[in-house]
Chains A and B, each alone.
Chain A
Amino acid sequence: MKSETLNRMKEIFRDVFDDQTIELSAETSAKDIDTWDSFNHINLIISMEQAFKIKFDISELSSLKNVGEMAALIERKSGA
């Protein structure tokens, strides 16, 4: 996982969850962010798609367990 990817993801997380204090690590998951509910998950995924100019498949999304896996998927799909 590249730090550049994580930094861009952090900005998106801060925007979607409206919390400028959010810090991300590979292990960060929904249980670490109180407002990471199903509604904000949709906003998060759409924001990631638009920022990185990629499209997720539903099978890819359902298997993600944490930020590290999401970052790896983004890098694979965007060729970063």
Chain B
Amino acid sequence: MNTYKFNELTLGLKAEFSATVSLKTLQQFRDLSGDENPLHLDTEYARTRGFDGQVVYGLMIGAFYSRLFGMYLPGRNGMIHSVDLRFVKPVYVDDKLFIYGEVTYLNDALKVIEISAKVLKDNKTEVSRAKIRGGMFE
């Protein structure tokens, strides 16, 4: 876990990591959220809707933005205030995802930072992007 303090952050500072969503974690998210929409759980149904298989819940991708902010940029000293996120392409179970973040706004007076983030599938196709705003304790 990174431990950046506010005065150590600079515009353009970047972080990245990779992740996948397994069938097991998809089912755990179903249990957590109570969202049983068959688009996420039934491969055949998802195909009838034009997808290649069961579609990963968008907010599971959102969970990676939580990891990006809480573990990497800035890490321990930050707390998310808001996330403006978009899902632009479907994600499927076991897709190889790459999560990127960059510091794009720093407010000295309020100790607030903004991270522009995106998720690429196979490191080439953008599947989601987000603006994450948060405060810093130190």
* Residues of A in contact with B (beta carbons under 8 Å apart): 39, 42-43, 45-46, 49, 55-58, 60-61
Contact sample, A vs B, 16 pairs, CB 8 Å cutoff: A42-B81, A42-B135, A45-B107, A45-B109, A46-B105, A46-B107, A46-B112, A46-B133, A49-B107, A55-B108, A55-B109, A57-B109, A58-B108, A58-B109, A58-B110, A61-B110
Query: Per-position contact with A for B70-97: 1 when CB-CB < 8 Å, else 0?
Result: 0000000000011000000000000000
Q: Report B-chain residues with C-beta under 8 Å of the C-beta of A42.
A: 81, 110, 112, 135
Query: Per-position contact with A for B107-137: 1 when CB-CB < 8 Å, else 0?
Result: 1111010000000000000000000010100
Interface residues of B: mostly helix, strand, loop or mixed? strand
CB distance from A12 to the nearest CB of B (A): 16
CB distance from A6 to the nearest CB of B (A): 22
In the assembly, what is the distance between CA of A69 and CA of B31, in Å? 51
In the assembly, what is the distance between CA of A58 and CA of B110, in Å? 7
Q: Report B-chain residues with C-beta under 8 Å of the C-beta of A39.
A: 81
